[in-house]
Amino acid sequence: MLSYIIPFFLLILVVVFIHEYGHYYFAKKYGVGVTDFSIGFGKEIFGWNDQSGTRWKICAIPLGGYVKFFGDRNVFSQADQEKILKQYNTEDQHKLFVLKPLYQRALIVFGGPLANFLLAILIFFSVYTFVGKDFTPAVINEVQNDSPAMVAGLKMNDIIDTIDGNKVKSIMEVSKFIMMSTDEFIDFTVIRSGQDLNFKVKPNMVEGKDNLGNKVIKRMVGIKLGAYNNEVNHVKLGPAKALFYAVNEVYYVSVSSLKYIGSMIKGTGDSSQLGGPIRIAKISGQVAEFGILPFISMMAYISISLGLINLFPIPMLDGGHLMFYGIEKVLGRPLSQKVQEGFFRIGMFMLLSLMFFTTFNDLKDLGLF
Pairing of strands 34-49, 195-201: unpaired
Contact predicate 224/139, CB 8 Å: no
- Beta pairing partners, 48: 56
368 burial (CB, 10 Å; 0-12 / 13-18 / 19+) is exposed
- Beta pairing partners, 223: 143
Beta-carbon-side half-sphere exposure of residue 16 (alpha carbons within 13 Å): 21
Q: Which of 173, 93, 91, 180 minimizes the C-alpha distance to 133?
A: 173
**With b meaning 16 or more CB within 10 Å and e meaning fewer, what string describes 226-259?**
bbbeeeeeeeebeeeebbebbeebbebbbebbeb
Q: Which of 20, 142, 207, 289 is catalytic?
A: 20
Q: Is 20 a catalytic residue?
A: yes
In angstroms, the Cα distances linking 111 to 19, 22, 170 are 8, 4, 34
Q: Which residues are catalytic?
A: 20
